[in-house]
């Protein structure tokens, strides 16, 4: 069975018209699929009974099932989903003041192989479909009373390595007739796959971009991020600096601090030189160790010194709070536990 959530709104309209139905049926279908979150096609009460039955016999309503939900003492929640073919993916719900952010995945595993990342160390299985990306949002929304305010595409997988499905999912997330979140509330994180990034910057939706940088020195970055060998961070930055003036929000650079590897003041100075003149935000993320990882969490004083140095060099720098440390919060940990 397939899912109607693999169709953007325009494709849903075409689907409806091809069946000889009135155009407004697409609007009704989208409202049920994305806003009312029903339990079955029988709930689509403004559609004729025959249409409901026809849909129910051919289409899946949800492509994911929750197999585990962990709730941290700080309010962070982790959802582990099973796909219809028995794979596992994770989403993380992060409440913060008036924001309720969901971090979603785009692939089962990842082929980027970042050394500090558990998902990257587990290899790649397959891309998620557009429906599987969107259903993480809808299934979590069904489990919570408050409305999600922000989506970050930063979970398992490299979103630009699953370009078509990720872009379709963003179209559904931001379409006022579907999930209806503003582009400003959607962030896409990438290691910097240059051909796809160029395509996104030239034609894609104006979501907030976040680039996983992690080491300013090319050979050091290549040691922890194999992507550096094909798509050097310097080229990614020059591409972004050409485009970012046209984009409403400046990009963010993510920097995972690894003790004794990339957390010194020399690294901070090199980072400041690399990003000099670029309107951007820097997020420092103290490494969250997982069993078997070859890196350690940085010392708190080193994190603060790193941040202060960059602030003195006039950058906007934030240290990401550690969330959900009492649950399996590192990306891929819960899936790993299940697969073992
Ligand atoms: S950090 Fe992101 S891109 Fe790198 S291996 Fe992990 S999931 Fe993939």
Q: Name the strand (E) or helix (H) holding 200.
A: helix 194-203
Contact between residue 338 and residue 88 where contact means Cβ atoms under 8 Å apart: yes
Kindly indicate the confidence band of residue 322, based on its pLDDT and cuts at 50, 70 and 90.
Answer: confident
Atom of ligand 1 nearest to the CA of 120: 5
Neighbour-count burial for 112-133, b at 16+ CB within 10 Å, e otherwise? bbbbbbbbbbbebbebbbbbbb
Judge whether 296 counts as a catalytic residue.
Answer: no
The sign of the dihedral angle between the CA atoms of 187, 189, 192, 197 is: negative
Judge whether 164 counts as a catalytic residue.
Answer: no
Max CA distance (Å), the chain: 69
Ligand 1, atom 4: nearest CA belongs to which residue? 114
- Model-level pTM greater than 0.85? yes
User: Which two three-digit tokens encode residue 150?
Assistant: 């922000």
DSSP state of 185: G
Q: How far is the CA of 74 from the centre of ligand 1 (A)?
A: 25
| pLDDT at residue number 307 | 98
- Average pLDDT taken over every residue of the chain: 94
Q: Among candidates 213, 212, 187, which has minimal Cα distance to 94?
A: 187
CA distances from 301 to 174, 175, 193, 225, 306 (A): 40, 44, 33, 26, 9
Q: How far is the CA of 26 from the centre of ligand 1 (A)?
A: 36
Kindly indicate the confidence band of residue 327, based on its pLDDT and cuts at 50, 70 and 90.
Answer: low
Give the tens place of pLDDT for each residue, 156-176.
999 999 999 999 999 999 999
For the cut 60, the answer to whether the pLDDT of residue 329 exceeds it is: no
Q: What is the mean pLDDT of residues 214-218?
A: 97
Q: Name the strand (E) or helix (H) holding 58.
A: helix 49-58
Q: What is the mean pLDDT of residues 196-203?
A: 92
Q: What is the mean pLDDT of residues 276-294?
A: 93
Contact between residue 247 and residue 203 where contact means Cβ atoms under 8 Å apart: no
Domains of the chain: 2-60 (1.10.150.530), 64-339 (3.20.20.70)
Give the tens place of pLDDT for each residue, 175-186.
999 999 999 999
Q: What is the mean pLDDT of residues 107-122?
A: 94
The finding on whether 191 has its CB within 6 A of some atom of ligand 1 is yes
Distance CA 138, CA 79 (A): 12
Catalytic option among 13, 90, 158, 228 = 90
Number of H helices, E strands in the chain: 13, 14
Neighbour-count burial for 170-200, b at 16+ CB within 10 Å, e otherwise? bbbbbbebbbebebebbbbbbbbbbebbeeb
| pLDDT at residue number 333 | 74
Contact between residue 210 and residue 252 where contact means Cβ atoms under 8 Å apart: yes
Give the E-state strand segments of 185-328 in sequence order: 186-190, 208-212, 252-257, 281-286, 316-319
Higher pLDDT, 206 or 143: 143
Q: What is the mean pLDDT of residues 141-155?
A: 97
Ligand 1, atom 5: nearest CA belongs to which residue? 120
Give the tens place of pLDDT for each residue, 50-106.
999 999 999 999 999 999 999 999 999 999 999 999 999 999 999 999 999 999 999
Give the E-state strand segments of 84-128 in sequence order: 88-96, 99-104, 107-109, 124-127
Atom of ligand 1 nearest to the CA of 190: 3
Q: Is 273 exposed, middle or buried (0-12, 13-18, 19+ CB in 10 A)?
A: exposed
Catalytic option among 130, 178, 244, 331 = 331
Q: Among candidates 229, 226, 157, 236, which has minimal Cα distance to 196?
A: 236
The finding on whether 114 has its CB within 6 A of some atom of ligand 1 is yes
Q: Is 340 exposed, middle or buried (0-12, 13-18, 19+ CB in 10 A)?
A: exposed
Pairing of strands 64-71, 99-104: unpaired
The finding on whether 108 has its CB within 6 A of some atom of ligand 1 is no
């Amino acid at each position: 069975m397939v899912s109607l959530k693999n169709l953007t709104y325009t494709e849903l309209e075409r689907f409806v018209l091809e069946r000889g139905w009135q155009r407004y049926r697409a609007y009704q279908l989208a409202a049920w699929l994305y806003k009312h979150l029903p339990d079955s096609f029988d709930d689509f009460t403004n559609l004729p009974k025959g249409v409901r039955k026809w849909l129910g016999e051919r289409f899946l309503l949800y492509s994911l099932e929750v197999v585990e939900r962990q709730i941290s003492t700080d309010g962070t929640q982790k959802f582990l989903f099973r796909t219809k073919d028995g794979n596992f993916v994770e989403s993380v719900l992060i409440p913060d003041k008036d924001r309720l952010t969901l971090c979603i995945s785009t692939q089962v595993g990842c082929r980027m192989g970042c050394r500090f990342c558990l998902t990257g160390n587990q290899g790649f299985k397959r891309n998620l479909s557009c429906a599987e990306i969107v259903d993480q949002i809808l299934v979590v929304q069904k489990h919570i009373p408050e409305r999600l305010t922000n989506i970050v595409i930063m979970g398992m997988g490299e979103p630009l390595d699953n370009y078509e499905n990720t872009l379709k999912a963003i179209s559904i997330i931001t379409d006022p007739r579907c999930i209806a979140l503003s582009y400003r509330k959607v962030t896409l994180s990438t290691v910097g796959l240059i051909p796809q990034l160029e395509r996104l910057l030239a034609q894609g939706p104006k979501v907030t971009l976040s680039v996983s940088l992690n080491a300013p020195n090319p050979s050091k970055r290549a040691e922890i991020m194999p992507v550096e060998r094909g798509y050097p961070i310097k080229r990614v930055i020059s591409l972004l600096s050409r485009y970012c003036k046209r984009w409403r929000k400046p990009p963010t650079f993510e920097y995972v601090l690894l003790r004794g590897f990339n957390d010194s003041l020399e690294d901070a100075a090199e980072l400041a030189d690399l990003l000099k003149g670029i309107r951007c935000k820097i997020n420092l993320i103290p490494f969250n160790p997982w069993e078997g990882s070859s890196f350690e969490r940085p010392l708190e004083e080193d994190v603060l010194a790193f941040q202060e140095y960059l602030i003195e060099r006039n950058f906007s720098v934030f240290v990401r709070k550690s969330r959900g440390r009492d649950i399996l919060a590192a990306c891929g940990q819960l899936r790993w536990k299940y697969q073992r």
